[in-house]
A and B are shown apart, each in its own frame.
Chain A
Amino acid sequence: MTLTLPQQSKPPALQPTGWLRYLSFSVDHKVIGLQYLVCGFAFYLIGGALAGAIRTELTSPVADFMPRDVYNQVLTLHGTIMIFLWIVPVVNGAFGNYLIPFYVGARDMAFPRLNAVAFWLIPPAGLLLITSYFITGAAQSGWTAYPPLSLTTPASGQIIWILSVLLLGGSSIFGGINFIATILKMRRPGLKLMQLPMYCWAMLGTSILVVLSTPVLAGTLILLSFDIVAHTGFFNPGMGGNVVVYQHLFWFYSHPAVYIMVLPAFGLVSEILPIHCRKPLFGYTTMVYSIMAIVVLGLVVWAHHMFTSGTPPWMRLFFTIATAFIAVPTGIKFFNWIATLWGGKISLNSAILFSCGFIVNFVLGGITGVALAQVPFDVHVHDTYFVVAHFHYIVYGGSVFVIFASVYHWFPKVTGRMLDENLGRFHFLLTFIGFNLCFAPQHWLGLNGMPRRVAEYDPQFAFVNQISSVGALLMALSTLPFLWNVFASARSGEIAGDNPWRALTPEWLTTSPPPVENWKGEPPLVTHPYGYGIPADQIDLKDASGSDLWSNGR
């Protein structure tokens, strides 16, 4: 189809087409979204390899696999890459950029060029960080970079780390600005805020957190770099500085950072569950308010990462209470998701399996989180493997599981082909078993005396560490059926059609893959994005037999 508009007086600039688009400075939000996804996944594999190195070292109680300072570089890079180069860019940049314009009924984001800039900051920053390992030695003070340790370890690696994180933070801020403007200002005429799919609300909340908290990290790292390079004494006690102030400033960002990693995942699950359960999302309004409550509370709980640091008792009490309160809006969301499942007609496909895996894992992580929020409890387990277990249940068992669910859900839209379900279920099984085998035992390790960030440990912990490492191996292996599935299905998977899931949200009301302008003709107005289900009084007790489960609504 050709739009019948007058010919341009100068020839249009030709943009690369086909797969070359993905290597170019494209301003198309769909291209940018996929750039984020693929780039992020590549960093996931690198971060995963680093995790493999860590778990290999930890199979024996002695530090025999790599030199200890290299181990510290490995764990620093593992954390930094997974947070700043995998999860934050993918749940925000990949899915946000691809989906938000569809959901608000727009042709693209509010600032397409800023969007491209935001993405293209990522590969160089990531490259900088990773090559620092080979050239100068990477930073080795953990992703938290506490001074004075970060002032006394080799400076070049630390400075490169700071530069890289500053670039990545900038990318995140630009993205946040774009999402806020698009969601608030670019809605199609007739589309009200409370008619938006839940993912938009999640991204709005996340972007507010990004814009408010990431700059504080930027400022902190600038001060840290001054200490390293210019010999100022902000965080150097020898010069009158204060190391605890660094921790306050760092965690002011880094606690909201975990919500930046998890709120978009909440939004994505809210999109996936109704479609595959054929039921509306339960409690739309309370879900919106829960997101806003999490955003507000998320900004005032940072010092629960510092309960043993040397904060006054009244401060610890305040942060315990505030942190515990976050469990309430979060819990509401989980009950609402379960209520969405309840009474549905659930297709047991990979998207649902990963979403339910998310629910189970994240609830466990949330429970240990409420425990950790209590000061007396945390005093024993702070900086131990209990905390490592907790946050992996949240970010892996939580966000990564949702990322996989989302890939299974939206792959048909992006490529026009279905992923293979048998491989998908196998992927889920391996991932779920491997993940729990790896991280569940770590709770016990922490409770019984194993600190974190160590290459050597008390030999009594050897067996449990070995179980954990076997789980990690399973997790590594689980990527194989996934990758095979993605590549094989992209080439020869079953054709999906426009709407294989018979969904109602705007991205499904166009071709797979969508055209450049997202829809031919006007963007559809969807005022009821979760209008699934049969009214209770009309439910037919006798189920109709009928066509194939994967009927694509053609």
Chain B
Amino acid sequence: MPIPSAIITLVLGMILVLGGLWIGQNINLLPVDASVNAPIYDELFRVLFSIGTILFVGIVGLVVFSLVRFRRKPGQIGDGIALEGNLPLEIFWTAVPAIVVLFVGLYSYDIYERMGGMVPLAHGGHGDSQATEERVWGGIGTAGAMQASSEMAVLPLPVEVTAMQFAFLFHYPDGDIISGELHVPSGRPISLKMEAKDVIHAFWVPQFRLKQDIIPGQPTLLNFTPTRPGRYPVVCAELCGPYHGGMRSTVVVESADDYDAWFQANRKLPVSEA
């Protein structure tokens, strides 16, 4: 007596799910993680990758199986089964994707919150001393910065980023440093306030898993806490003209001591101290 197809289907399904989970956990498609929220992002990626693999392999399997098992052999002229529908089955495969999608949505909302995306923008961790009610247009990570800073009892390091065709300029208000590279101490929250001079640009560090468009006319915020010393690319990720591909800079994450050394070497001393 042949093995009942239900058992074979069950076993195949289990192999599929376990295989998908294994792939999601073990196949690493992402670059190194260098900020506090990067591992959080990578968690989400692994879940999405697992679910995606399971779905894709499952569906490809069904299609290929059908093409082989139900193919018309030479000489056959019959028809298939006159099956118009199956309401319980359709309800099942409406409900299951809806639940999966709902789960993915709620999970990613949680991830987004942990990354600091839900905090209202008007009170970014920038410590604005300006009185003007400046409208801030976009940002992410503000909660992360606030939370980290309150935990560590340390203020986020503010940096003003100016994007123009085709370069990034980083201005440190403390010390009045203007630099072409972004130097940041590892482990300390950083608060970027960004503005564009001409067209829309974007600030993207793949290793931080963070990106924010830089928009002329309205400042945007980006907050993060770097964790892994190294040199990482800052990539412009919004078409800004012919040299868009060449518009990149570097973020140098260094130990607190190295950062202090850089800071001291570059800061402009106030006139009275000179």
Residues of A bordering B, CB below 8 Å? 63, 67-69, 71-72, 140-142, 146, 148-149, 152-153, 237-238, 241-244, 277-280, 282-286, 308-313, 316-317, 320-321, 324-325, 327-328, 331-332, 334-336, 338-339, 341-348, 352, 356, 359-360, 363-364, 367-368, 370-371, 374-377, 379-380, 382-384, 443-444, 447-449, 451-458, 530-536, 539-540, 543-547, 549, 551
Contact = CB atoms under 8 A, between A and B. Distances in A.
Given A308-B211, A320-B105, A324-B105, A286 B90 contact: yes
A243 B215 contact: yes
Nearest to A451: B237
Contact of A380 (B72, B82, B199, B209): B209
Interface string B191-220: 000000011101010100111110111101
Given A320-B105, A449-B235, A543-B78, A148 B44 contact: no
A367 B78 contact: no
A280 B82 contact: yes
Contacts of B272: none
A41 B121 CA distance: 48
Contact of A71 (B41, B70, B84, B242): B242
A344 B66 contact: yes
Contact of A149 (B44, B75, B202, B239): B239
A277 B80 contact: yes
8 contacts: A146-B238, A243-B216, A243-B217, A320-B109, A339-B86, A344-B70, A360-B59, A451-B204
Nearest to A280: B84
B241 A153 contact: yes
B25 interface: no
Contacts of B84: 280, 282-284, 530
B41 to A, nearest CB: 6
Overall SS of chain B's interface = mixed
Contacts of B240: 149
A546 B181 CA distance: 76
Contacts of A456: 245-246
Interface stretch (B11-19, B93-101, B256-264): B93-101
Interface of B: 29-31, 40-41, 44-45, 48, 51-52, 55-56, 59-60, 62-63, 66-67, 70-86, 89-90, 93-94, 97-98, 101-102, 104-105, 108-109, 111-112, 115, 117-121, 137-138, 140, 198-200, 202, 204, 206, 209-213, 215-218, 220, 233, 235-246
Which one of A308, A347, A367 has the highest number of Cβ atoms from chain B below 10 Å of its Cβ?
A308
A532 B55 contact: no
Contacts of B70: 277, 341-346
A312 B121 contact: yes
B165 to A, nearest CB: 9
Contacts of A324: 101-102, 104-105
Given A308-B202, A325-B101, A451-B235, A544 B63 contact: no
B210 A380 contact: yes
B200 A146 contact: yes
A448 B31 contact: yes
A536 B81 CA distance: 6
